[in-house]
Structures are given as C-alpha cells and as structure tokens.
Amino acid sequence: MNRTRGKIRPPRRGLATDPVDFDEYWDTLAQSLREIHAKNASRLSFEELYRNAYKLVLKKHGEKLYANVKQLVVEHLKVVAVRDVRPLVPSAIVTGGAAFGTASSVEKRIGGDKFLDRLKVVWEDHQLCMGMMKDVLMYMDRVFCADHKIPSIYVTCMGLFRDHILRNPQYNIGKALNTVILDQIKMEREGDIINHATIRSCVYMLEALYENEDENENEKIYLTSFEGEFLAASGEFYKQEGVRLLRECDAATYLRKTDKRLSEEYSRSHDTLSTLSEPKIRAVVERELITNNIKEVMDMDTGLRFMLDNDRFEDLKLVYKLVARVDPEKQALKNMMCKRLVELGREINKNANPSTALAVAPAAVPAENGDSAKNSGAAAANEDKAANNLTVIAIRWVDEVIALKDKYEKVWTRSFDEDKGIQASMTGAFREFINLFQRSPEYMSLFIDDNLRKGLKGKSEAEVDAVLDKAITLFRYINDKDVFERYYKKHLSRRLLMNRSVSQDAEKQMIGKLKMEVGVAFTNKLEGMFKDMNISDEMTSEFKKMLQNKEGSDEGKKIDLTVNVLTSTFWPMTSMGADGMQTCSFPKELEALKDSFTTYYLGRHSGRKLSWQANMGNADLKTSFKGVKKELNVSTYAMVVLLAFNNIPAGESISFEDLTTITSIPQAELIRTLQSLAVVPKTRILRKNPATKDVRPTDTFAINELFTSKFTRIKVGMVSANRAETEKERKDTSEKVDETRAHQIEAAVVRIMKQRKVLSHAELVSEVISQLKGRFNPDVAMIKKRIESLMEREYLARIDGERHTYKYLA
C-alpha cells in the first residue's frame, strides 16, 4: 500500500467557538480509518482528519473518541483473525490433536512457513495502520491521554492485537505461533532447512508486544509466552540428544558435537530468535550436554585418560573449554587429571623401588676358619653392585618424573590455557606421588650429581640453566628438604674432593638457585665447602713454595702433594665416612710429607686439630708396563696398596693378610680396593691368585706385567663415586635425620616460647609446623615428645590448672 502523508497545518484561530457534532465528525473519521485498514490511504486528507480529531478532543469528546477508535480496531482485528489468519492455522493445533506433530518435515515446513508468513504480513499491516492512526490522533495522545494518564492510542492498539489476534480464545493463534516456531527450530536442529527471516519477523512481533500497556521490559510477550516453552522444549531435546550421543559417540565426537550445538544456539539466538534468550538457551545446552554428562564422557575409554596418555591436545582443549562453561573451578577435570597423574607417578615410583627394580643378593652368613672375611667381601661387593644399579634407576626415576612433568606442562600450556587453578592441582599431584616415594630426596640429589659430573658437558649456558631449572622444579615438590640437603652435601663433597665437577660455574649456579628457593640458612654450609676448597688451594700453593725454599730438603720434589683442609661443621663428615679416624699406614716418604704439612698448618692455626682422612683422597701414580708409560688415577687406599709392591722383588706376590698388615686399611675397604685393582677387567693392574671374582683372605696378589690399555691415563674405579644408598645406609641416614630434626624442633619451640611466653599446646604445635615446614613436615608426635623433653629439662612448664597450656621458664 502506498502511503502519502500530507503536511498537517495547525487549526485556524477561532476553532474553539465552532459547533461540533460528534457523530458527524466520528463518521468521517471512522470511514477514513477503515480506508487506512483497507490500504486506501492515498485518497485521504490527513490534515482534514487531524483537524476533525482535534475538534473532538477540543470539545471534550476525547474519551468517546478514544473508546470508538478502540472498538473500530477491535472489529477490524476480529475480521482479520477469521479471514486472514485462521485458515492457515494448522487444524491439529486448533483441535488439540497430534496430527501436526506426526506430519512429515516437508509438510510441517511448508504449512508452518505459510502460517508464519501470513501472521508476519498481518502484523506489519497492523503496525503500518497504527502508525498512520497515531499521526491522525496525535492531539488526542498529547492532550487527552496525557491528562488522563492512559496509554497512547498506538500502545493501546498494540495491546488489542495481542488480545484479539494472538490470544483469540477461539482460534489458538498464539499457541499455533509457539508450536510452529518451536517445530521449525526442532527441524533445523535435526538438519532441515527453515525460513529464518519469517521466524525472525514473528519474533520481532513478540518482542514488540507486552503483557500490559505499562510496557515493562520484563513483560514482553516473547518472554512471558514464548521463551518458557522454547527453553522447556530445548531442554527435552538436548536431554534426549545427550542420551543419544553417549550411546553412539566416542568422547571426542561427543565434545565436538556439544561445542557445535552451543555455536548453533548462539547463532540462532542472534539470527533467528532473540538475543534475550541467548544466555538462557546456552545454560540449557550446558546443563543437558555438559553438566549432566561430562563426567561420564571423561570416564569413557576414549575419555580424559586416553586423551592425556595420547597427547590429544585439541580434544583436551575442548574438554577444558566445555568444563569451564559450567564450572569455573574445573573441579571434575582437575580431579580426573590429578588422579591419572598420580597413577603414572606411582607407576614410576614402583619401577624405581629397590624391592621391585632389582634383587639384591643376600649377605653371606659368617663362617669359621677365616671365611668371614670372604663373606663380608662378597656382601660388600653385592652391596656395591646393587647400589650402583640403583644409581642408574635413581637417575632414570628423575628423568621419568621430569618427562611426565614436561608432558603435563605441554598439556597445561596447549590445552588448558595456562589455568592457574589447574597448575596448582598439578603441583599437588606431583607433590603427592613424589613424597610417597621415600627415596625421592636422594634420587633427586643423585640426578643433579650425575649432571654436574658429566651430564652438562658440552651443553650451552642456556641448556645448563634449563636442566638445573627442572631439578629445582622437582626440588620444590619435596617436603623433606632437610633430607635432600643431607644427600646434596654428601654428593657435593665427593664431587669437590674428587674433582669431578664438570663446571664450577654450574655448581655455584645450582647453589644460587637453591638459595633463592629456601634461603641462606640452607646453602650456608654448601658455600662454606667451596670456601674451604679455595682456601686449601691457596694453602697448598704456599706450602709448596715453603718446601722449595727449604734448604737441604728433598720434601715435595718427588711427590706433588695437594691437601684439602675441611671445616668439620661445613662438610658431612659422617656420611663421608669421616666421623672416625679413617687412616692407614702411609709409605715413609708420604708420612714425612704429611707430618711436614701438619707442622706447617698448626703453625699457622694454633689451637686447631688436623685429622687425616685417607678414605677421602685420591692420587695420580706414574708407572710403565712393558716400557709403555701409564698414569693411574686411584684412591688413596689403592695408592698405598700399589706402593707396597715397590718394596718386593719384581714378579713376587703379597698375600691378603700381609697387605692388611702393611697398609692397616680396614678389611672391608681393602677388599673393595683390591676388587677395583685385581677383578675389574679394564683396570686389572694386579694379578690375583686364584683368579676368581671374589677377594678372599687366602688370595695372593702381584703386579700384572701383562696389563695393557689403549689409554695413557687410566681411572681406576675409586671405591665409590656417588651412588644410591643401600637399605642399611638409608636406615642410618634416616636415624641421623631424625636426630637432627629433634634438635631443630626443640630450637623452634624454645624460640617461640621465649617470644610468646605462654601458649596453648595446639598453638605451639601449629607455630612449630609453620616455622619448619620449609625444611620438612614435622611429625606432631615428635613435636609432643620434644616438648616433654624440654619440660623435663625445665625449659617449659605447664600452667597450674591449665594442662594444655605451657609457659616459658627463663
């Protein structure tokens, strides 16, 4: 319909005095309004119509005019409902039957399109006509409606459309509209093509109509009459969809289809329905396809465990994306991921456990007639072999834990959006299985030792830093950092004393990283060990200069002596086997030089005591085999054994018993030393008779004149480079750790009570744990025991009448 709008001029002056016949003016207006409905507005004079309406309002006929216009629109809408809309309402909807629901998708689509299109046209015509009527009745709206606080005629007529078209009690048009739209949406969800534009126009209509003339935004017909049914139908659809997908799909397919459904509903809300429904329909899909089913999906054979084990990064990213929609904490994802992580960690622990990783030969039973030395030697050999095998297992354990860490770090980075909550859960999982493994502090120290001895050789500074950072990452997970410290000091001492470090810079870099993690108190003794080595170098140099300047003395000219003077409070003397006098009988040349250094040292440091620890040294010996010069790098004990053969004619042998007498080396250490010199094929410098693999008290030894090696410098396996502890050694270490912890707990209790004066038992225990948790997790029973010990020694006392409260005794 072409609409021609003329210019409406203000009525001329004196109009107020003109007589007005309401019926005459109304008949003219009514006829014109009908023409507007009939789409014949081009022949009307809107200026004249406006003037007529103006006169009626001016003459106080506004109320009657308002009522008559409403009645005229109602009559028109009744005709439209019967003539235009009713014929296209599916009959099954009118009668309440089920035929419409069972019709084919083609029939429903065509019938639905026709109905929606007709309703769209009727609505658009109504809007257009009401717009024209609004212009004609503008004065009535501005004066009569405003004065009487009633809705404008346009708003009222929109309500009439609602009541006489959509909610016409005879024809169920509103119900039909909802049913058809919902059915069209269902068809599209099932893969059919629908007319989005027509549906969108009808939705615009529902959004433009309100429950009443107040036009409250929360009372749009779309929200009150359609959206509830839409969400309910969608909920049922997606509930069934979830059941079907669980039955038919693997986990990855389920996730992809769910993500696709969410995307489709987002587009449908913006392109076909209303953005008002977007968050609500999203919540429905999330509830039915994610919240209700995601745990079952992740539990599938192809679920989260499979995805983690097989690096399905894209699938895992989708798991994270969907879980995050319904649970900001991602608790189900974190729980299942951590469960798998701990399972893998426990498997690594199991494979590295001495009881399953290797079988240690049982110690032989002591026998009579000198066989005890044989048996102890065999036991020592078996222990060393088992410990060396365990060292390989220890390094493999750390490598596997780091590989697991790298794997899950990659998942966290590529699939989990570097989520801090998931990172915290991963940290908890690693900490759990690492601390379940009692050997973890020792194994980590052995791993660092292996890298600082040889693993970092040839690596760039960045690569060295990366390896050390990985070691520090695992160190953070350890609860018993004091146990790690004990092993680290032991292993560091051997590296320093045997000159096995591949890089002093890397050593100091590692200590710097430890200092940043746990503070100066942790690394103070480690730094003291380096300080001792530097001072020893300077002292040795000065001692050599003194010998050179000493007239008439041959000391130091044939033997190049290097001495490391160790401060007993810095170095782990007990774990190094230096808690007692581990010495031997040195050849007289060495004994004289040793005495000379002792005199020199005590002359510089009066009041100190110098104890020589032969078990901790090494030596370089020059010799020749068949005229070929060789240099042997051996332990101090091995040096003493080899030098003993200088005092006998070539080709003669020395018995085990005689070597024991000559060298004064403890029997177990002598057995180990002779094994490295006479049994190991590549370093068989001595010839043993009989040529068995065991060292016995009845054996004899001679120089192996037939010894050959392609190397000029030969390293003889010095009794023990750093290796994993045997069960007996580990038990001893554990006992010493408990002793140290007892002292630390007592010191913490005294510090706290000295400051606080009075504390309850619970508060004191809590503060002790808080102070010491950076080094180890104090056992509550041990804390209680140490408190009782302090009370016995009168550092603390219970307050009378308050059994669970302590006071500090100055």
- Which letter, b or e, does each residue of 697-724 get, where b requires 16 or more Cβ atoms within 10 Å of its Cβ? bebbbbbeeebeeeeeebebbbbbbbbb
Is pLDDT above 60 for 580? no
Q: What is the pLDDT of residues 358-383, one digit of tens each?
A: 544 343 333 344 444 445 445 545 55
User: Would you place residue 442 in the very low, low, confident or very high pLDDT band (cuts 50, 70, 90)?
Assistant: very high
3-state secondary structure string, 622-675? EEEECCEEEEEEEEHHHHHHHHHHHHCCCCCCEEHHHHHHHHCCCHHHHHHHHH
Both tokens of residue 310?
């097989």
> DSSP H helical segments within 353-480, as ranges?
354-357, 371-414, 420-436, 440-450, 461-477
Query: By 3-state DSSP, what share of the chain in percent is helix, strand and coil, each rounded to 5?
Result: 65, 5, 25
Question: How many whole angstroms separate alpha carbon 122 and alpha carbon 136?
Answer: 21
Tell me what the pLDDT averaged over the chain comes to. Answer: 87
Average pLDDT over residues 248-268: 97
Residue 568 C-beta-side C-alpha neighbours within 13 Å: 11
**Placement of tokens 């390989």 in the chain:** 392
**402 pLDDT above the threshold of 90:** yes
Q: Which pLDDT does position 527 carry in this prediction?
A: 92
User: For 263-319, what is each residue's pLDDT tens digit?
Assistant: 999 999 999 999 999 999 999 999 999 999 999 999 999 999 999 999 999 999 999
Higher pLDDT, 701 or 109: 701
pLDDT, position 50: 92
Are 265 and 282 contacting, i.e. CB atoms less than 8 angstroms apart? yes
Strands 618-625 and 700-703, by their bridges, are: unpaired
Q: Determine the Cα–Cα distance for residues 360 and 725; give it in Å rounded to an integer.
A: 12
pLDDT of residue 248: 96
Q: Is the pLDDT of residue 11 over 70?
A: no
Distance in angstroms (rounded) separating the CA atoms of residues 85 and 79: 9
Top mean-pLDDT range of 226-230, 365-369, 567-571 = 226-230
Tell me: the pLDDT tens digits for 759-808? 999 999 999 999 888 888 888 999 999 999 998 888 899 888 788 899 88
The position carrying tokens 């433009």 is 208
Whether residue 119 has pLDDT greater than 90: yes
User: How far is residue 549's CA from residue 601's CA, in Å, rounded to a whole number?
Assistant: 17
Q: Which domains does the chain have, with CATH numbers?
A: 21-219 (1.20.1310.10), 617-715 (3.30.230.130), 730-808 (1.10.10.10)
Dist. CA 333–CA 135, nearest whole Å: 62
Q: Which DSSP string do the residues of 116-165 spell out, in sequence order?
A: HHHHHHHHHHHHHHHHHHHHHTHHIIIIIIHHHT---HHHHHHHHHIIII
Q: The tokens of 444 are what?
A: 């980590």
3-state secondary structure of 797: strand
Least-confidence region, from 182-191, 435-444, 449-458, 663-672 = 449-458
For the cut 60, the answer to whether the pLDDT of residue 3 exceeds it is no
Assess contact for 288 and 249: CB atoms under 8 A. no
Beta bridge partners of 689: 700
Tokens of 483: 């146990």
User: What pLDDT is recorded for position 108?
Assistant: 77
Asked whether 323 and 330 are in contact (CB, 8 A), the reply is: yes
> H-helix or E-strand containing 744?
helix 727-756
Percent of the chain with pLDDT over 70: 89
Residue closest to 164 by CA, chosen among 123, 198, 114: 123
Share of the chain above pLDDT 90, in %: 54
Give the separation between CA 627 and CA 662, rounded to whole angstroms: 28
Mean pLDDT of 194-205: 94
CB atoms within 10 A of CB 615: 19
- Distance (Å, rounded) from C-alpha 717 to C-alpha 684? 11
Q: Where are the alpha helices (DSSP H) in 498-623?
A: 504-518, 520-549, 588-604
User: How far apart, in whole angstroms, are the C-alpha atoms of residue 644 and residue 351?
Assistant: 45
Q: Where residue 576 falls among pLDDT bands split at 50, 70, 90?
A: low
Q: Return the minimum-mean-pLDDT range out of 44-48, 61-65, 107-111, 581-585.
A: 581-585
What does the radius of gyration of the chain's CA atoms come to, in whole angstroms?
A: 48
527, HSE (Cβ side, Cα atoms, 13 Å)? 12
Cβ 405 vs Cβ 474: under 8 Å? yes
What was the pLDDT predicted at 693?
A: 86
The C-alpha atoms of residue 566 and residue 584 are separated, in whole angstroms, by: 19
DSSP 672-732: HHHHHHHTSGGG--EEEES--SS--TT-EEEE-TT---S-SEEE---S--S-PPPHHHHHH
Residue-wise pLDDT for 631-660, tens only, equals 999 989 999 999 999 888 888 999 999 999
**Nearest partner of 448 among 480, 482, 473, 426, judged by Cα:** 473
Please give the residue that has the higher pLDDT: either 810 or 683.
Answer: 683
Tell me what pLDDT residue 231 has: 97
* pLDDT tens digit sequence for 50-108: 999 999 999 999 999 999 999 999 999 999 999 999 988 876 554 444 445 556 667 77
* pLDDT(715) > 80: yes
Q: How far apart are CA 223 and CA 202, in angstroms?
A: 14
Helix (H) or strand (E) holding 230: helix 228-248
Element (H, E) at 808: strand 802-808
| Nearest residue to 767 via CA among 789, 788, 783, 790 | 783
Provide DSSP, 171-191: T-HHHHHHHHHHHHHHHHHTT
Residue 18 has a pLDDT of 65
**pLDDT tens figures, 511-552:** 999 999 988 988 999 999 999 999 999 999 998 888 887 755
Asked if residue 726 has pLDDT above 70, the reply is yes
* Nearest partner of 517 among 488, 474, 571, 572, judged by Cα: 474
Q: Which of 330, 289, 327, 290 is nearest to 423 (CA)?
A: 330
* Separation CA 74–CA 81 (nearest Å): 10
Q: 703 in the Ramachandran plot: left (φ > 0), alpha (ψ -120 to 50) or beta? A: beta
Beta strands in 232-390 (DSSP E): none
**pLDDT exceeds cutoff 50 at 718:** yes
